[in-house]
Amino acid sequence: MFTVTIIQISGVSPDYTDIFCQYYFQHKPADIICTQPMRNAPDSETVGVLHTQKFITKSTLAFFDYVRHHPIAFELYGHMNASSEVKSDVAYEDSEATLPRRYRMMVPLLIPGSAPVPPTRLNTTTPPTGSVLVRREDILVWFEILEIDSNGEYNPVPVDRLDEAPCQGVFLIHQGLQRRIAVTLVYEVPPDAFLPENSSSLLLFQDVHEVVIGRVRDTAEWLEPDSRTRIISLSLLPARYFPQAGDDRIFFRFEAAWDSSLHSSPLLNRVTPVCQRIYLTMSCYLDVSGCTRPICLTKDLAMMVFPRESKLSVPRSLRSLWSSICRVSENSRLSAVYDLQLRQPLSSG
């Protein structure tokens, strides 16, 4: 059994007459637990809560792994004083704290990522020196590696999460099979997206410009210049938006064919020895609505290569936890959150 206790809340604006807190586990966002409403005294720096909720579960290694890597999301709501006025003249630079940041609390912090893999089909230009922030979003991204099966269908490979790998999971792949890399981007519907003048903000991503992958290595960090690696531009399949039943978020997905033999790396062309990991870096360049230059998402991936006929699955202790509290897809993908900032150049005149 473990307990969630909320003692007090600080930093609440005096514009709120009362507040309440709600929280939920990442894998079950619909199962929300709420505190009782609390009065917010204008002359007090804190609001007393004294809320306690007990949960009963088995204390296994898998449970501790889940608690460590999938924190609880807390949200605060309240009623404003009728005499309070909403400020409408805040500059873009000062309004960053009010922009949606929901996913930031749902995915654990990662080690600093690698620099983007340079594109092969994009002319690099110097970004403007002066700009103003016009939109900021937390983009939740799922990464999967798909392998072809005996029926000619592509299925996601499992991810081992028990390892303390910097990439937050290790893909378990087979030797000599055709593969694809699948990327799904998830973001919230902007509150004003359905206004005629803001309809373009609903479909944020237009297309995928290029996906490049390289820097194959056996260490978590890449310490060599990019001239020492073979960068592969992957063949893209059509990108698409797709709805999810019971979820009002927007989902954008694309896949890219990945022939690992093109890297000419012995690390990818042989079975991975015990206790060794293979690392590589992937960068995705996406066209965004209203932007003249693509944005870039970069992710370091860790993997192990197993014999072609191996039966692969996640460790049993972890699988027993995921099967009871998570969707099956969580066993085969990695998650990361990207801070997308869209800026408009300042007028030269």
What would the DSSP string read from start to end of 130-178? -EEEEEEEEEEEEEEEEEE-TTS-EEEPPEE-SS--TTSSEEEEETT--
**Tokens standing for residue 170:** 């290790």
Name the residue among 331, 260, 334, 273 with its Cα closest to residue 306: 273
Q: Residue 328: its pLDDT value, please? A: 46
pTM over 0.75: no
> Do 137 and 267 form a contact (C-beta atoms < 8 A)?
no
Separation of alpha carbons 33 and 237, rounded Å: 41
Mutual orientation of helices 61-69 and 316-325 as an angle, nearest 10°?
60
Q: What is the pLDDT along the chain (349 residues), one digit of tens a residue?
A: 778 888 888 888 888 888 888 888 766 666 788 888 888 887 888 888 888 888 777 777 666 666 766 668 888 887 777 655 444 333 333 333 333 444 444 444 444 568 899 998 877 666 666 778 888 888 889 999 999 998 999 999 998 876 554 667 889 999 989 999 999 999 887 665 554 555 555 788 999 999 999 999 998 888 888 888 999 999 999 999 988 887 888 899 999 999 999 999 999 999 999 888 999 999 999 999 888 889 999 999 999 999 988 877 655 444 444 444 444 466 788 888 888 888 888 765 4
Q: Residue 263: its pLDDT value, please? A: 93
> Do 53 and 35 form a contact (C-beta atoms < 8 A)?
no
Q: Residue 315: its pLDDT value, please? A: 54
- Which residues are bridge partners to 304 per DSSP? 172
> Do 172 and 79 form a contact (C-beta atoms < 8 A)?
no
Q: Residue 106: its pLDDT value, please? A: 44
> Do 212 and 117 form a contact (C-beta atoms < 8 A)?
yes
| φ/ψ of residue 323, rounded to 5 | -65, -25
Residues with Cβ within 8 Å of 158's Cβ and at least 6 positions away in sequence, in order, are 171, 172, 312, 313, 314, 331, 332
